[in-house]
Amino acid sequence: GITRHYKFDIKLQNVTRLCHTKSIVTVNGQFPGPRIVAREGDHLLIKVVNHVQNNISIHWHGIRQLQTGWADGPAYVTQCPIQTSQSYVYNFTIVGQRGTLFWHAHISWLRATVYGPLIILPKRGVPYPFAKPYEEVPIIFGEWWNVNPEAVISQALQTGGGPNVSDAYTINGLPGPLYNCSAKDTFKLKVKPGKTYLLRLINAALNDELFFSIANHSLTVVEADAVYVKPFETNTLLIAPGQTTNVVLKTKPHNPNATFLMTARPYVTGLGTFDNSTVAGILEYESPFHSAASIRNLPLFKPSLPSLNDTSFATNFTNKLRSLASAQFPANVPQKVDGHFFFTIGLGTSPCQQNHTCQGPNGTMFAASINNVSFVQSTTALLQAHFFGQSNGVYTPDFPITPIFPFNYTNNPPNNTMVSNGTKLVVLPFNTSVELIMQDTSILGAESHPLHLHGFNFFVVGQGFGNYDPNKDPSKFNLVDPIERNTVGVPSGGWVAIRFQADNPGVWFMHCHLEIHTSWGLKMAWVVLDGKLPNQKLLPPPADLPKC
Ligand code: C2O
């Protein structure tokens, strides 16, 4: 591989959407941010210089960061944030990965405006396991607030209630023609007839899983979370925040003399706070016979999306995702398990503190938790505390590995919504093979939770609804070709089982990629100890690692 240098200047930029102009935090003044393109095996040096008042840190979502946890990016987990006028060089190599990922700010809600595609091409000369596309197009979904998203989250945390929902979803930063005052801000995909296009879909929205469809065109799914999958065709996709999906779009053999909307809107299983609006872009066939004006007069087709709560579509779609599991791209599913973990995932409440207005249920504050522990962010970086043997007073290694309260979803939901606070971690010996069952508790506001694990891909070996049954369910696990990914939806009122090999020393964050749930504490971290060999040890921190 080669070394690629990028410079990210974090600065303010005035941006207008929906007729509201505001000053937002950006990378290099761009919204969405710049595209990073590299090849498998390349070494990246990305210098981030902070010119704004906010502290910042950047996460390379889905990059494994083998031995280089210092470059992972979550603030107060692997690094202290980069303060005003400071800089930090993210230094890492892309090992054994190729596909679509993304990067985003990983502090407070700054990822609302600070995000962009991270595209890893195969090594030079190595083809895709599908026909070479005529063109490749990143399509990144986001959310736009007319107000400052930092104010939205700080108000929600102060009142203990839910946050204000966004004003629009966006495709490549553009809300599109279904919103007021937005027709000129529409993403256009211009295509030629009879060609194939690789669409690199990325859900960078903060708080919603999305359905996506293009009118009158089917899509072939070929990759998820930068791992090739067995191709299958679909009219509609489901994509959770933190997930990426590559699809092949085959255009009509002849110019159809029509234009086609592509739309996205949320999948919501419960009564959560969500924006129920629809973002649209336009698929336009280029033609020497049509001017921009005559294209506007062509018939326009609209896709139909599943209803907001169409769980059967979601389940069917998810079940179709299978690893390619070929000789060239094997699925190395751990066949035996050293460490069994069972986490309940859910929303709960914590007692209202003095001086809070407490707009949560029954005068409490919203909280979210794993095994009833709502994670408290530390004031220094956990990885530093671990590396220098200074965990005392920073974190405790006693994260509960099974639920604190006995759990029964189907007939007697326990009164276990109250959470305790703590900065608790699980410590794993190097190369532990982990099986983790995540059971949604769905006691307050049924919502599925896209759980994201840093530092690893995992295999989704099983999923179901109701209570996980340790006597029956494991016999149905798929240990042959399960989907391998970095973010999985824990279904509302159900469970998922994942397996991964803890072969990457460091401290690795795991959290719900719905930003509001992370803010409420739905997060924890794993410490993976060094192995014996030199290539099984966390490297020392770089000299420019930011200080708290
Ligand atoms: Cu994309 Cu910790 O997140």
pLDDT digit string, tens, across residues 91-144: 999 999 999 999 999 999 999 999 999 999 999 999 999 999 999 999 999 999
Distance 283 CA to ligand 1 centre (A): 30
Q: What is the whole-number distance in angstroms between the Cα of residue 10 and the centre of ligand 1? A: 19
Looking at the structure, do residues 316 and 230 belong to the same domain, yes or no? yes
Kindly give the distance from the C-alpha atom of residue 170 to the centroid of ligand 1, in angstroms, as a whole number. 19
Burial class from Cβ neighbours inside 10 Å (0-12, 13-18, 19+) for residue 548 reads middle
Does the CA dihedral 103-105-107-110 come out positive or negative?
A: negative
State the CB neighbour count (10 A cutoff) for residue 535: 8
% pLDDT > 90, the chain: 82
| Host domain of residue 278 | 130-323
Does ipTM surpass 0.95 in this model?
yes
How far is the first Cα of the chain from the last one, in angstroms, to the nearest whole number? 34
Give the pLDDT score at 273: 62
The pLDDT tens digits for 243-261 are 999 999 999 999 999 999 9
Residues 424 and 520 in one domain: yes
Task: Evaluate: CB of 509 within 6 angstroms of ligand 1.
Answer: yes
Distance CA(304)–CA(241), nearest Å, equals 21
DSSP bridge pairs for 458: 485
Give per-residue pLDDT as tens, 41-67. 999 999 999 999 999 999 999 999 999
* φ, ψ at 199 (rounded to 5°): -95, 125
Sign of the CA dihedral 534, 536, 541, 545? Answer: positive
Residue 444: per-residue pLDDT: 52
- Do the Cβ atoms of 331 and 482 come closer than 8 Å? yes
68 and 138 both lie in a single domain: no
Given pLDDT bands bounded at 50, 70 and 90, which one contains residue 355? Answer: low
Asked if 331 and 481 touch (Cβ cutoff 8 Å), the reply is: yes
Number of domains in the chain: 3
Give, in degrees to the nearest 5, the angle at Cα 102 between 125 and 383: 110
Assess whether pLDDT exceeds 90 at residue 240: yes
172 belongs to a structural domain: yes
- Cα angle value 123/126/132 (rounded, 5°): 115
539 alpha carbon – ligand 1 mean position (Å)? 22
- The residue ranges of DSSP E strands in 441-486, in sequence order, are 449-453, 458-465, 484-485
pLDDT at 358: 73
What beta strand segments (E) does 145-218 contain? Answer: 168-171, 188-191, 196-203, 209-214
DSSP code for 82: B
Residue 333: band (very low, low, confident or very high) from pLDDT cuts 50, 70, 90: very high
| Residue 541 lies inside a defined structural domain of this protein | no
Regarding the beta carbon of 111 and ligand 1, being less than 6 Å apart is answered no
SS3 label, residue 111: helix
| Average pLDDT taken over every residue of the chain | 93
pLDDT of the residue at 292: 78
Residue 78, domain member (yes or no) = yes
Entry pTM:
0.96
Q: For residue 240, give both structure tokens.
A: 């959770």
CATH of the domain at 92: 2.60.40.420
Those residues with Cβ within 8 angstroms of residue 250's Cβ, 6 or more apart along the chain or in another chain? 195, 196, 217, 218, 220
- Tell me what pLDDT residue 11 has: 98
Q: What is the pLDDT of residue 161?
A: 82
Do both 371 and 514 map to the same domain?
yes
Please, which residues have CB within 8 angstroms of residue 522's CB and are 6 or more apart in sequence?
345, 347, 368, 369, 370, 374, 375, 449, 511, 512, 514
Asked whether residue 122 falls in the same domain as residue 157, the answer is no
| Whether residues 21 and 85 fall in one domain | yes
pLDDT of residue 163: 87
The one-letter code for the residue type at 171 is: I
Q: Which residue CA neighbors atom 1 of ligand 1 most closely? A: 61
User: Are 137 and 280 found together in one domain?
Assistant: yes
Q: Which residues are registered as beta bridge partners of 346?
A: 369
Of 461 and 157, the one with more pLDDT: 461
**Cα–Cα distance, 312 to 317 (Å, whole number):** 8
| Residues 100 and 39 placed together within one structural domain of the fold | yes
Residue 488 and residue 386 in one domain: yes
Looking at the structure, tell me whether residues 244 and 104 fall in a common domain.
Answer: no
> Could you read off the pLDDT of 190-237 as tens digits, one per residue?
999 999 999 999 999 999 999 999 999 999 999 999 999 999 999 999
What atom of ligand 1 comes closest to residue 242's alpha carbon? 1
- Which pLDDT score, from 0 to 100, does residue 276 have? 76
517 lines ligand 1 (CB under 6 A): no
- Reported as a single tens digit per residue, the pLDDT across 19-41 is 999 999 999 999 999 999 999 99
Is the same domain home to 287 and 160? Answer: yes
User: Does residue 536 sit in helix, strand or coil?
Assistant: helix
140-159: pLDDT as tens digits: 999 999 999 999 999 888 88
Q: What is the share, in percent, of the chain residues with pLDDT greater than 70? A: 95
Res 359: pLDDT: 73
Name the residue with the closest Cα to ligand 1, atom 3. 61
Distance of CA 37 to CAs 33, 67, 161, 190, 235, Å?
A: 13, 22, 40, 22, 28
Q: Which of 404, 449, 445 is nearest to 422 (CA)?
A: 404
Residue at 542 is within a domain: no
**CA distance to 90, 202, 370, 401, 515, per residue, from 428 (Å):** 26, 31, 18, 12, 27
CA of 368 to the centre of ligand 1 (A): 17
Same domain, yes or no: 195 and 273: yes
